[in-house]
């Protein structure tokens, strides 16, 4: 089985610097070597070109056109992959997932968005204006026309959010209106992550799946290297169990590992956590 790794060293969609170094941190945490040890044939396609934030200084954000171009380049790279190759996209801020999801969606696709946030803002509902708070809305057809015209790719009813604990008011309303399935941390506490995983899989019955994993879904004590931490996240065991249950279905086709911020991290432990989760999703077992 083949895996292709692509980096997107982009922080233009985030409110602070640093996630542009995420792809290096994830590679340094031995993602490729560990996948090879699992028996995968792994190819590193390198990074998508993203303008360096400092070269844009003096311009005011949001860097809509720069983000659009980087995500489009990612989309084209993923489109060009042969059938059966499993892409892992290394971020970078979450706005890159406009490119990854639209790049892998060929027909109906189920999206499992594992995140403390819903990233379902539009320019009207966003309090920050940061584009990494908008990609899931764009993929569902809402927000900047410059983005939806190239990235709309999913039916919001084929989207499941897991681990949510921070929503903006307008975003909450949009999620309801669009029929996105949301499992907040409240449901994780009440139902348990195994039950949620099974419900989500039954709900997305038979669809091929894309998993978009935002490091900030994890509890900040485990994953301090994120730009928008929210207390009360997934534990180590919950996060791994979720990946393992998804792995067992054999339906997952692609993965994003996003929002790792090495500047804010402690000795790369957030990147190491994310690599461990990727390995659980790709079938690493103890026995
Ligand atoms: N909801 C907030 C916003 O729109 C935070 C979004 C954080 N997104 C992320 N991908 N970390 O600004
Ligand atoms: Mn996110
Ligand atoms: Mn998030
Ligand atoms: Mn495991």
pLDDT of residue 126: 98
> Average per-residue pLDDT in the chain?
97
Look at ligand 1, atom 6, and give the residue with the nearest C-alpha: 133
- On the question of pLDDT at 103 being above 80, the answer is yes
CA-to-CA distance for 235 and 21, rounded, in angstroms?
Answer: 24
pLDDT of residue 286: 67
CA-to-CA distance for 105 and 85, rounded, in angstroms?
Answer: 14
CA-to-CA distance for 249 and 281, rounded, in angstroms?
Answer: 10
| Least trusted range by pLDDT, from 26-30, 51-55, 58-62, 121-125 | 58-62
Residues 6+ apart with CB under 8 A from 3: 35, 40, 41, 42, 43, 85, 86, 87, 88, 282
Does the active-site annotation cover 216? Answer: yes
Angstrom CA distances, 273 to 83, 113, 143, stand at 29, 17, 32
Interval 150-162 mean pLDDT: 98
- On the question of pLDDT at 136 being above 70, the answer is yes
Identify whether the C-beta of residue 136 lies closer than 8 Å to the C-beta of residue 118: yes
Q: Given the residues 11, 66, 117, 210, select the one marked as catalytic.
A: 117
Q: Given the residues 132, 238, 256, 272, select the one marked as catalytic.
A: 132
Given pLDDT bands bounded at 50, 70 and 90, which one contains residue 143? very high
Look at ligand 1, atom 2, and give the residue with the nearest C-alpha: 133
CA of 12 to the centre of ligand 1 (A): 13
Does the active-site annotation cover 240? Answer: no
214-254, pLDDT tens digit by residue? 999 999 999 999 999 999 999 999 999 999 999 999 999 99
Does the active-site annotation cover 119? Answer: yes
User: Helices (DSSP H) in 80-157: which residue ranges?
Assistant: 97-104, 135-139, 145-151
| Strands 209-214 and 181-184, sheet pairing | unpaired
Query: What is the number of residues in the chain?
Result: 287
Look at ligand 1, atom 1, and give the residue with the nearest C-alpha: 133
Given pLDDT bands bounded at 50, 70 and 90, which one contains residue 131? very high
Any ligand 1 atom below 6 A from CB of 168: yes
CA of 166 to the centre of ligand 3 (A): 9
Residue 281 C-alpha from the chain's centroid: 14
Any ligand 1 atom below 6 A from CB of 238: no
Dig out the tokens for 201 from the structure. 């899989």
Residues 6+ apart with CB under 8 A from 1: 39, 40, 41, 84, 86
Look at ligand 1, atom 3, and give the residue with the nearest C-alpha: 133
Does the active-site annotation cover 117? Answer: yes
User: Helices (DSSP H) in the chain: which residue ranges?
Assistant: 22-28, 31-37, 64-79, 97-104, 135-139, 145-151, 169-178, 185-191, 193-203, 236-249, 269-281
């Amino acid at each position: 089985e083949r895996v292709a790794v692509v980096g997107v060293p982009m922080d233009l969609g985030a409110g602070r610097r640093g996630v542009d170094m995420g792809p290096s941190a994830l590679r340094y945490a031995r993602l490729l070597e560990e996948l090879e040890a699992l028996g995968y044939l792994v190819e590193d396609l390198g990074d998508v070109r993203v303008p360096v934030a400092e070269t844009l200084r003096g311009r005011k954000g949001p860097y809509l056109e720069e983000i659009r171009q980087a995500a489009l380049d990612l989309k084209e790279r993923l489109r060009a992959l042969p059938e059966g190759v499993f892409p892992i996209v290394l971020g970078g801020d979450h706005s890159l997932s406009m490119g990854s999801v639209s790049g892998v969606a060929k027909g109906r696709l189920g999206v499992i968005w594992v995140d403390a946030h819903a990233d379902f803002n539009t320019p009207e509902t966003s309090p920050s204006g940061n584009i990494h708070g908008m990609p899931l809305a764009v993929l569902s057809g809402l927000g900047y026309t410059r983005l939806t015209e190239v990235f709309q790719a999913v039916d919001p009813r084929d989207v499941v959010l897991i681990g949510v604990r921070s929503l903006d008011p307008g975003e909450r309303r949009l999620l309801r209106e669009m029929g996105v399935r949301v499992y907040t941390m409240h449901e994780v506490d009440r139902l348990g992550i195994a039950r949620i995983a099974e419900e989500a899989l039954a709900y997305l019955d038979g669809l091929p799946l894309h998993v978009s994993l935002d490091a900030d879904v994890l509890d900040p004590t485990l994953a301090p290297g994120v730009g928008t931490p929210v207390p009360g996240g997934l534990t180590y065991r919950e996060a791994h169990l979720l990946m393992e249950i998804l792995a067992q279905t054999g339906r997952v086709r692609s993965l994003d590992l996003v929002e790792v911020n090495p500047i804010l991290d402690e000795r790369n432990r957030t990147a190491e956590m994310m690599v461990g989760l990727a390995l659980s999703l790709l079938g690493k077992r103890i026995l």
